[in-house]
Amino acid sequence: MNRLITPFDPWKSGMCTCPPKYSLNPYTGCDHRCRYCYSTYIPEFFHARPKKLLLTRLERELKNLSANALISMSNSSDPYPPMERELELTRNALRLMSERDLRLLVITKSDAVVRDADILKNMRATISVTVTTLDESIAEKIEPLAPEPGKRIRALKELKKSDIPVILRLDPVMPGINDESVEDVLEKAKFVDHVVSSTLKLRGDSYSRITKAFPELRERYREMYFRRGEKVGGSWYLNRVLRTGLLSRVAEVCEDLGVSYAFCREGIPFRAKSCDGSHLAV
Ligand code: SF4
């Protein structure tokens, strides 16, 4: 059976500025169906399944990790799919991790993470919640099965009240979809400890899914990404001028609000202590 805890970015992408960390996904696949999802190279991705023998394997593998190891949960699926409320796999994984002196970065789009604040507040943990828009009709089109943005903002607030450091992932910024409203999201979440942002990267399948929901963007995205953009690894990026323009709006608002911020896989400099907010998991 494959290992559960694996090095993050073993390919060492030139765009990645993350510190050394491990990746742990309690589930394979994800039910949130975000149209921009970057993990759809995994077969039958939009259908979450619990990892087999997760807790037994995790217990064994945790013994081999050094005390200060940083685990990121999860990078290629959400650790809180709807079935987690009943299965409590992620919760039990947290219990096991809390017995060791690890550092933990939780990344989710679900307010269900609040249930586990009792464990998380006693760990060296920080929680990232993704909010791309406050507009529920846009969220429904772009992240159809994820909890509503208002619930995610409330989750960030509740975790913060429990003294858990929180991160807003304003990620991705999508031209013509949410780029005009990044200020509103940042203003609403100005209490967070860190912001991570990035621009939309496209592959053929995400281009099809997005433009099915937003047909008016079909030609615009073709031009911006496939004709004038840059190919990095297997993904299409906007060109650097456009990326810098979009992210400078995030930077300006964060500067005004006095919130630390960074960019994910953009090749654009930032001053925060880490891109992913792992400096908060201390
Ligand atoms: S929550 Fe993350 S992993 Fe799940 S579908 Fe959305 S982008 Fe993909």
Question: How many angstroms is it from 77 CA to the middle of ligand 1?
Answer: 6
Q: Where do the H-state alpha helices sit in the chain?
A: 54-62, 84-87, 89-98, 117-120, 136-142, 149-161, 182-188, 204-213, 218-221, 240-257
Question: How many angstroms is it from 75 CA to the middle of ligand 1?
Answer: 9
Does any domain span residue 84?
A: yes
List the strands of the sheet with 124-130, edge to edge: 6-7, 22-23, 70-73, 103-108, 124-130, 166-173, 194-199, 261-263
Does any domain span residue 164?
A: yes
Alpha-carbon radius of gyration of the chain: 18
Total count of domains within the chain: 1
Question: How many angstroms is it from 108 CA to the middle of ligand 1?
Answer: 8
Atom of ligand 1 nearest to the CA of 77: 3
Does any domain span residue 199?
A: yes
Question: How many angstroms is it from 237 CA to the middle of ligand 1?
Answer: 19
User: Which range of residues forms the domain containing residue 18?
Assistant: 6-280
Atom of ligand 1 nearest to the CA of 109: 1
Question: How many angstroms is it from 44 CA to the middle of ligand 1?
Answer: 13
Does any domain span residue 1?
A: no
Check residue 119 and give its pLDDT.
98
Give average pLDDT by consecutive 10-residue segment, the chain, 282 residues.
88 86 97 95 91 97 94 95 97 97 97 98 98 98 98 98 98 98 98 98 97 98 98 95 97 97 95 95 96
Coil, strand or helix: which one is 114?
helix
Check residue 1 and give its pLDDT.
76
Question: How many angstroms is it from 63 CA to the middle of ligand 1?
Answer: 29
- What dihedral angle (degrees, nearest 10) is formed by the CA atoms of 181, 185, 190, 195? -90
Q: Tell me which residue has its CA closest to atom 4 in ligand 1.
A: 30
* Ligand 1 pocket, Cβ-based, cut-off 6 angstroms: 30, 32-34, 37, 39, 77-78, 109, 146
Check residue 247 and give its pLDDT.
98
Does any domain span residue 245?
A: yes
Check residue 41 and give its pLDDT.
85
Q: Tell me which residue has its CA closest to atom 8 in ligand 1.
A: 37
Are 250 and 268 contacting, i.e. CB atoms less than 8 angstroms apart? no
Q: Tell me which residue has its CA closest to atom 7 in ligand 1.
A: 37
User: Which of 37, 42, 171 has the most ligand 1 atoms within 8 A of CB, as the residue to mutate?
Assistant: 37
Does any domain span residue 127?
A: yes
CB-based burial label for 86 (10 Å; 0-12, 13-18, 19+): exposed
The CATH number of whichever domain residue 146 belongs to comes to: 3.80.30.30
H, E, C per residue of 130-165: ECCCCCHHHHHHHCCCCCCHHHHHHHHHHHHHCCCC
Q: What is the pLDDT of residues 153-175, one digit of tens each?
A: 999 999 999 999 999 999 999 99
Does any domain span residue 265?
A: yes
Are 8 and 71 contacting, i.e. CB atoms less than 8 angstroms apart? no
Does any domain span residue 235?
A: yes
Distance CA 98, CA 93 (A): 9
Atom of ligand 1 nearest to the CA of 39: 8
Cα torsion angle, 179, 182, 183, 185, sign: positive
